[in-house]
Every structure is written in structure tokens, then in C-alpha cells.
Amino acid sequence: MALEDAKNEVDTAFTRKGLRGYAFENAFGGATSFLRRSYTKDLTGVDLAVTGVPFDQAVTHRTGTRFGPRAIREASSLQPYDPPYGWGFDPLEEMSVIDYGDLAFDYAKVADFPETLTAHIRGILQAGAGTVTLGGDHYITLPILKAYAEKFGPISVIQFDAHSDLWQDDDFSRIDHGTMMYKAVKLGYVDPARSVQIGIRTHCDDYLGMHMIDAREVHEAGVAAVVAKAKAIVGDNPTYLTFDIDALDPAFAPGTGTPVWGGLASWQAAAILRDLAGINLVGGDVVEVSPPYDTTGATAIAGAHVAYELICLYGWKRRG
């Protein structure tokens, strides 16, 4: 850490010169953009845009994930001083990463929300950047996948989750975080044969051809086997990674709407994400962080680490 920079830097989200490099301002002060990246709507020369979607009107149990993006950004203030551990490269030096701010939407017109979000992501993709989205409940992944499918065609998905989100629901006007993957497959956004769900530990009648690695298999087979299986499934297909924080056991991430025991330990998630390096990641999200149910902030910290790993995965493939 550069002590002189720490003494003089503040609000680098607004005062940063250029889009690359680390930040050294005090973790407890200043404007909390994600990883102290520049807050900007200018996508010129941007490789990756981090954006927040504070939406939680599709949940089946506890609300609160509308506060997730804000909490994840605050938690990320602990991370922008050094290169991420174990990667061997400096993504914040090698890529132009910005904080694009949050999606603007009318909370009282829920029916308009999906297309508003799709248009938001579509605009970023059309500018040539990728996205890492901070949720928000897991429904948000469906409108995001629509924008990605428009650009890439049916894509592979790696989904970390306690739930499959494949509950059958052929009313496509319904907005529900438990049916979003069912609809993504049925609408042709996702290629199920080249997609995999990791950490599942709730019942599902029909996986619609998606591969599934449940939490027990992760515990018993180990990280290397899980990574090898996931990589074989997605191959080099354009891949979107969605990480529901309830993939982690409630001991590690209590701040979520539908916690389920028996989940992944944080070290398992970290190791799997790190070893997925080389997949053709085109975008990703971390969702279902609900700060009101975790006074320690541990869940938001986990969410911030996941988002940083997504940045690393995105950069790793592009650096050859």
C-alpha cells in the first residue's frame, strides 16, 4: 500500500485520473463505488462495467436485496489496494473497469422492469464492454440473459445456487426469482446442454437438460473434480456466470432471502471460481445479498469477493 497515496487520496470514484490502477484511500471513508472505480456513464474505451440493480420485488420470502448493490460496494472498499490473491495478474491495471452506477427504474411499474433492465445491459454490450451486475434478487438474471442472447445467441450458464430456479411457470408475464432459469431456457436464451448448476440442495422435478452438481457432490468429490466437470460442460462457448449468494451455507452468508443449510463453504466457492480460469466468460452477476439479515456484513463481503473474481475471470480469458 502506498502510504503517501493513502494520506492524500479520497473520493477516487470521482477524482481518479484514468480508468486503470488501484486505489489507496482509507477503506472507511470516501465515495463507495465498486473497488473505488470511476463512477461514469461514458463507455468509451471501457472493458467492463460494474452496475447495480437494486430490485427485490420478485422474491418468495424475505425482501432486502434492493440494498445489496450498496452494501457490496461498501464491502469492496477493503479490496482495491492490491492485486487479487492467487491470480498472478493485475486486472485493475490491465483492464479499464468502471462503476456504471445503478439501473434507474420506476419501482411502482414492476411490469416495465424487465425490458428496462434488458435495455440497460444491451446498451453496455453494444458499446463493446462486458458487465458484472450487483443484485438485487435472482430474477434480474433473466432480463440480463436476454440482452446477452441477443448478442451471442444461446449461451452457457454456470449457476451457483441452492435452488435450481427451474420451477415450471409458463406464464411469462410473471416476475419470480424461482422461475427465471426455467424461462431463460424455454425462451432460448440459454443452451441447457452446455450449462451447469453448482451447489444445488433443494428439490427440482425437471432440470430441462441442464447439468447439476449438488452441494453434496462438491463436498465429496472436491474442487478439482467440480471444476473439471464444469469446464467440460461449457467448453469454449460464451458463458455467463450467475452467483446466488445462497449457494454459500448460511454460516458464511446469512444475509439472504431463502437460506438453505448444507451449502458451500466460502473457501470452496473461492477455489472453484479461481480454477474456472480460462472459460469464455462474457459477463456475470452476484445476487440475493440481503444486508438487513446480516448485521456483521459478512454476506456483502462475500458478494464483493465474488464480483471481483468475476472481473478476474473476464480479464483472464482476454489476456490470452
HSE at residue 31, side-chain half, CA atoms within 13 A, is 13
Enter the C-alpha cell of residue 118.
Answer: 434488458
Is 244 one of the annotated binding-site residues?
yes
CA–CA separation, 71 vs 12, rounded Å?
18
Quote the crossing angle between the two packed helices 141-152 and 113-126, to the nearest 10°. 40
Amino acid letter, 74: E
Is 161 one of the annotated binding-site residues?
yes
Is 165 one of the annotated binding-site residues?
yes
Burial letters 18-29, b for 16+ CB under 10 A, else e: ebbebbbbebee
Burial letters 139-165, b for 16+ CB under 10 A, else e: bbbbbbbbbbbeebebbbbbbbbbbbb
Amino acid letter, 81: Y
CA–CA separation, 133 vs 285, rounded Å?
4
Sequence-distant (6+) residues with CB within 8 A of 218 are 198, 199, 226, 264, 268, 272
CA–CA separation, 160 vs 303, rounded Å?
12
Sequence-distant (6+) residues with CB within 8 A of 295 are none
Which residue ranges make up the annotated binding site for Mn(2+)? 138, 161, 163, 165, 244, 246
Which residue ranges make up the annotated binding site? 138, 161, 163, 165, 244, 246
